[in-house]
């Protein structure tokens, strides 16, 4: 079976070659992302393996179908970049990796909180320059602060446990509450109450039409002045223009994001010698209380192993005609 792997980085190839040693599949690795302009690269392949920034819209999927591709294997959990209706019409199966070390993402969310709060990134640079002053490095205790969590799936649940370990008061919103989390001390509230009561707000919900721009001007207006907002889920959960206004007005005291609305044009690329045309992210970077990482929350050895092995198992099941446990219907 021939598989075209798009948006390939060195580490992707390393893990696929490590865990695909049985040579069951014939992989071809492409650094470029998959979209309408590159769909011709899939000619002669049985399946494509794609990541979060590949664009599998109607035209791309129809192009895949015309070339005989029968499987789209996502090596990620999210699938908002795939036109599922067109895939179904063209008899192309779509599989994903529904869970891969939720602790990795949850731990990164807490790392963003601690870094923004205690300003360790600034302290590190100061000390390297011989500046041992503590001016403007003051933070606050997480103990007894209200940490709000939107979305208590596997990642959100892992984050709840971490936050409880700091002695924080954890409040959460999800359509489906967890009795296990309640027993640990998590208090479920309405979305409006979580927005209003949180000192720190961490987003762990999927991107759907319902959750797109869940953090917008109206939501921000209800929050505490100086609130910290963390997003390690999907960029479009936050309306970037609205959050910029809130930062400028000092309504938002801290912002930590590992995802960004227009990240497909930026993330996973070295643009250090380029002129970045995205004015919004340049404005975000200009704020001293904003911390941006480039979609690396998932990036641990354990998560990469799980992603690779699950992807390979998904492809094997398809090849054997078995039921696809991780098919997106």
How many whole angstroms separate alpha carbon 326 and alpha carbon 2? 20
Q: What are phi and psi of 289, to 5 degrees?
A: -105, 20
Per the rule left: phi > 0, alpha: psi between -120 and 50, beta: everything else, 101 is: left
Superfamily of domain 2-100+301-320 in CATH is NAD(P)-binding Rossmann-like Domain (3.40.50.720)
Radius of gyration of the chain (CA): 21
Q: What whole-number distance in Å separates Cα of residue 66 and Cα of residue 121?
A: 50
Closest-CA residue to 227 (of 193, 206, 184, 196): 196
Active site positions, annotated: 234, 263, 295
Domain boundaries, the chain: 2-100+301-320, 102-292
- pLDDT, residue 53, reads 86
State pTM to two decimals: 0.91
- The CATH code of the domain at 102-292 is 3.40.50.720
Please list the pLDDT of the chain residue by residue as tens digits (329 residues): 999 999 999 999 999 999 987 667 899 999 999 999 999 999 999 999 999 889 999 999 999 999 999 999 999 988 989 999 999 999 999 999 988 889 999 999 999 999 999 999 999 999 999 999 999 999 999 999 999 999 999 999 999 999 999 999 999 999 999 999 999 999 999 999 999 999 999 999 999 999 999 999 999 999 999 999 999 999 999 999 999 999 999 999 999 999 999 998 899 889 999 999 999 999 999 999 999 999 999 999 999 999 999 999 999 999 999 999 999 98
Q: Give CA–CA dist 215/247, Å, rounded.
A: 13
Do domains 2-100+301-320 and 102-292 share one topology? The answer is yes
Q: What is the pLDDT of residue 264?
A: 85
Please tell me the predicted confidence (pLDDT) of residue 285: 96
């Amino acid at each position: 079976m021939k598989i075209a792997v798009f948006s390939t980085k060195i580490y992707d190839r390393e893990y696929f070659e490590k865990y695909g040693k049985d040579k069951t599949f014939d992989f071809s690795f492409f650094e470029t992302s998959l979209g309408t302009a590159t769909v011709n690269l899939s000619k002669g392949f049985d399946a494509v393996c794609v990541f979060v920034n590949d664009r599998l819209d109607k035209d791309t999927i129809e192009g895949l179908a015309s070339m005989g591709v029968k499987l789209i294997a996502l090596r990620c959990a999210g699938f908002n970049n795939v036109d599922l209706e067109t895939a179904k019409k063209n008899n192309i199966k779509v599989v994903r990796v529904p869970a891969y070390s939720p602790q990795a993402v949850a731990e990164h969310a807490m790392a963003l909180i601690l870094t923004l709060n205690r300003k360790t990134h600034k302290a590190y640079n100061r000390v390297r320059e011989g500046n041992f002053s503590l001016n403007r490095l003051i933070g606050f205790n997480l103990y007894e602060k209200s940490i709000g969590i939107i979305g208590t799936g596997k990642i959100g649940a892992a984050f709840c446990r971490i936050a409880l370990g700091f002695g924080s008061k954890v409040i959460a919103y999800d359509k489906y509450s967890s009795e296990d989390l309640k027993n640990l001390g998590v208090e479920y509230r309405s979305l409006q109450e979580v927005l209003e009561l949180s000192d720190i707000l961490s987003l762990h919900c999927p991107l759907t039409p319902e959750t797109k721009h869940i953090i917008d001007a109206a939501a921000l207006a209800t929050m505490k002045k100086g609130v910290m907002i963390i997003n390690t889920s999907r960029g479009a959960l936050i309306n970037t223009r609205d959050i910029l206004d809130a930062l400028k007005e000092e309504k938002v005291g801290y912002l930590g994001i590992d995802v960004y609305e227009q990240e497909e044009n930026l993330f996973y690329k070295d643009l250090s010698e380029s002129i970045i045309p995205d004015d919004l992210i340049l404005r975000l970077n200009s704020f001293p209380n904003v911390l941006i990482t480039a979609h690396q929350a998932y990036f641990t050895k354990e998560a990469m192993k799980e992603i690779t092995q699950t992807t390979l198992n998904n492809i094997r099941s398809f090849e054997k005609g078995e039921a696809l446990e991780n098919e997106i219907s």
